[in-house]
Amino acid sequence: MVAFFEYFSANIGTILQYTMQHLRIGMLAVSGAIVIGIPLGLLISKVTGASKPFLGLASVMQAIPSLALMGFFIPIIGIGDKTAIIIIALYAILPILRNTYTGLTNTDPSIIEAARGIGMTEKQILFKVQLPLALPVIMAGIRVAAVNSMGTATIAAFIGGGGLGKQIYAGIQIIDTNMILSGAIPACLLALLMDFLFGLIEKSLVPVSLRVSSSVLNPDVIAKMKRRKKLVLSTAACALVFLIGSIVYDSIDWDSGDKITIGTTEYIEERIVSQMYAQIIEDRTDVEVELNNAMGASLVVWQALQNGDLDGVPNYTGSYYASILGLEIYPGMERDETYNNVVEELKKFDITAAGQLGPNNQYVFAVKPEFAEKYNLKTVSDLAPLAKDLVVGCSQSFYARENDGLMPVCEEYGMEFKDALTFGAAPMYIALENGDVDVIVTYRTDGLLQKYDLVFLEDDHNFFPPYVLFCMLRDDVVEKYPEVYDACMELQFAVTDEEMQSLNYRGAQNGDDPYTIARDFLLSKGLISE
pLDDT in tens, 135-158: 888 988 999 999 988 888 888 877
At 453, which amino acid appears?
Answer: D
Give one word for 457, left, alpha or beta, with left for phi > 0 and alpha for psi -120 to 50. beta
Percent of the chain with pLDDT over 90: 34
pLDDT of residue 70 exceeding 90, the answer is no
Q: Which is higher by pLDDT, 405 or 509?
A: 405
- 143/9 Cα distance (integer angstroms): 31
Per-residue pLDDT at 174: 66
What average pLDDT does this structure show over 78-92? Answer: 84
Contact present, 367 and 438 (Cβ < 8 Å): yes
Distant-in-sequence, close-in-space partners of 208: CB < 8 Å, separation ≥ 6: 217, 222, 225, 226
Contact present, 457 and 384 (Cβ < 8 Å): no
Contact present, 267 and 361 (Cβ < 8 Å): no
Low-confidence winner among 161-165, 200-204, 516-520 (lowest mean pLDDT): 200-204
Low-confidence winner among 55-59, 339-343, 377-381 (lowest mean pLDDT): 55-59
**Buried b or exposed e, range 404-421, using 16+ CB within 10 angstroms:** bbbebbbebbebebeebb
The secondary structure of residue 348, as a DSSP letter, is G
Structure pTM?
A: 0.73
Per-residue pLDDT at 439: 95
Half-sphere exposure of residue 475, counting CA atoms within 13 Å on the CB side?
A: 8
What average pLDDT does this structure show over 335-346? Answer: 93
Q: Which is higher by pLDDT, 249 or 14?
A: 14
pLDDT of residue 513 exceeding 90, the answer is no
Per-residue pLDDT at 121: 82
Half-sphere exposure of residue 98, counting CA atoms within 13 Å on the CB side?
A: 17
φ, ψ for residue 23, nearest 5 deg:
-60, -45
- Decide if 2-195 and 259-361+467-524 have a common fold: no
Query: Residue ranges of the alpha helices (H) in 153-267?
Result: 165-173, 177-205, 219-251
CATH superfamily of 363-457: Osmoprotection protein (prox); domain 2 (3.40.190.120)
CATH number among 3.40.50.970, 1.10.3720.10, 3.50.50.60, 3.90.550.10, domain 2-195: 1.10.3720.10
Per-residue pLDDT at 474: 95
Low-confidence winner among 116-120, 234-238, 259-263, 388-392 (lowest mean pLDDT): 234-238
Give the length of the chain: 530
Per-residue pLDDT at 218: 66
Direct distance between the N- and C-terminal alpha carbons of the chain, in angstroms, rounded to an integer: 37
Per-residue pLDDT at 5: 81
**In which band, very low, low, confident or very high, does the pLDDT at 402 lie, cut at 50, 70 and 90?**
confident
What average pLDDT does this structure show over 156-168? Answer: 79
Per-residue pLDDT at 61: 81
Percent of the chain with pLDDT over 70: 92
Per-residue pLDDT at 250: 59
**Buried b or exposed e, range 190-221, using 16+ CB within 10 angstroms:** bbeebeebbeebbebbbeeeeeeeeeeeeeee
Per-residue pLDDT at 312: 94
**In which band, very low, low, confident or very high, does the pLDDT at 448 lie, cut at 50, 70 and 90?**
confident
- What architecture (CATH level 2) is domain 259-361+467-524? 3-Layer(aba) Sandwich (3.40)
pLDDT in tens, 276-325: 999 999 999 999 998 887 676 777 788 889 888 899 999 999 889 888 88
pLDDT of residue 215 exceeding 80, the answer is no
pLDDT in tens, 232-289: 777 777 777 776 676 666 555 555 568 899 988 878 899 999 999 999 999 999 999 9
Per-residue pLDDT at 279: 95
**In which band, very low, low, confident or very high, does the pLDDT at 125 lie, cut at 50, 70 and 90?**
confident
Q: Which helix (H) or strand (E) holds 366?
A: strand 363-367
Half-sphere exposure of residue 205, counting CA atoms within 13 Å on the CB side?
A: 20
Q: Domains of the chain: which residue ranges? A: 2-195, 259-361+467-524, 363-457
